[in-house]
Amino acid sequence: VKGSGRTGRRPGASGSRDKILSAARAVFSAQGYNAATMKKIARHAGCDAALIHHFFGTKRELFDEAITLPYDPGEVLVSFLSGERREGLGTRLMEFVLSRWETGESRGVLLALLRSASSEQDAREAVHDLLVRRALLPSVRAMGVPDAERRAALIGALFVGLMIVRHVVRMEPIASDSRERLARALGPVIEHYLFDDLEHDALQ
Amino acid sequence: VKGSGRTGRRPGASGSRDKILSAARAVFSAQGYNAATMKKIARHAGCDAALIHHFFGTKRELFDEAITLPYDPGEVLVSFLSGERREGLGTRLMEFVLSRWETGESRGVLLALLRSASSEQDAREAVHDLLVRRALLPSVRAMGVPDAERRAALIGALFVGLMIVRHVVRMEPIASDSRERLARALGPVIEHYLFDDLEHDALQ
């Protein structure tokens, strides 16, 4: 029964793959890369660790697959921004990003990255790559402002801090805030990072 | 030779204690709580793991000692703020905080906390306790603004994100930015979190 599906695996294989990927996301996001063993992921997926190795190879390769989003985050952001007026943009952007990243698969991907980034060089690079290089930098460039790298990195730092405080440290009242409320508080900050002269408050 | 020093330990004990604490800070901040074993810390301190157990007890107890600052961060901040004009306050505050936290012992404490907070419940509570409850909340309260908890938590999130992106993920150009430059970019954000109506950008 070969030839079903793009990789020619037997039927049922893609179901198992998806189950393993979602188990991997769950375990990586709850425990971080280091503590997440293949055994724990196998137990969570209800399969044998050997099957995971068969499908994905090493833990590092499994991690890479697990943090792959089913869409291009840069494209999504750029197309959102293209239709927007500048006034109040920060708040709408923040709400859009939060509603995307705090739900479904993206939430697991983001938490897996943030939980792992503090100890794993690979995950550190993945944070930079996914959040800044692929998502924020193309979006900031699309706004036509100078110094796009610095602006994208500052928005990335805002986002990393917010997600860690909200979902990992679970610091109140931020942990329980609605997305709308958070977006209102953070919107002007996004606009500052996007549009203001970041050197304006010159010292001396 | 009893009675030398407040705990009555033999001479040289406080030197060993300090050496172990600074080794613990180095290992916790490089690897996070989970990966930092007593053995690694002992190797770094050039002593026996048994000596660490003798002085500090468990790893958790050693961690608590290692993240204890020699000053009260809230007092320091409140006294800094008390002499300041409101204009440009954010930039000066940011520069003051960065120059304090990015150097010497505080740097090790902060990195140990941030590297550990993603996986350890204890470290998560310590982040909230040290950064927000003890340092930021008293300072924001001293400004006499409403909704101090939310403001302190938002500034905490800014700081967590900045430190992780700058020192853990090492994302450019933020990783190489001077403290002065960062302070200028982030100053207006601090002022927004401190003084603005955080609900002003109402949706609908």
CB proximity B154 to A under 8 Å: yes
**Amino acid, res. B144:** G
C-alpha distances out from residue B19 to A70, B22, B160, Å: 50, 5, 28
Chain A residue numbers touching B199 (CB-CB < 8 A):
181, 184-185
CB proximity B135 to A under 8 Å: no
Helix count and strand count (H, E) for chain B: 11, 0
List, for residues A164-182, the tens digit of each pLDDT value. 899 888 899 999 999 999 9
Q: Are A172 and B161 an interchain contact pair (Cβ–Cβ within 8 Å)?
A: no
Q: Which residues neighbour B57 within 8 Å (Cβ) at sequence distance 6 or greater?
A: none
Rounded CA separation A191/A180 (Å): 16
Which of A132, A197, A201, A204 is the best mutation test for B, with the most CBs of B within 10 A? A201
List, for residues B100-155, the tens digit of each pLDDT value. 888 888 888 888 888 887 667 777 888 888 888 888 999 999 888 999 999 999 99
| Residues 171-200 of chain B whose Cβ lies under 8 A from any Cβ of chain A | 171-174, 177, 180-181, 183-189, 192-193, 196, 198-200
- State pTM to two decimals: 0.84
Q: Are B119 and A114 an interchain contact pair (Cβ–Cβ within 8 Å)?
A: no
Task: Establish whether this prediction's ipTM goes over 0.90.
Answer: no
pLDDT for res B8: 46
**Amino acid, res. B65:** E
List, for residues A101-118, the tens digit of each pLDDT value. 888 888 888 888 888 876
Which of A118, A136, A179 is the best mutation test for B, with the most CBs of B within 10 A? A118
Expressed in percent and rounded to 5, the helix, strand and coil fractions of chain B are 70, 0, 30
**Amino acid, res. A94:** M
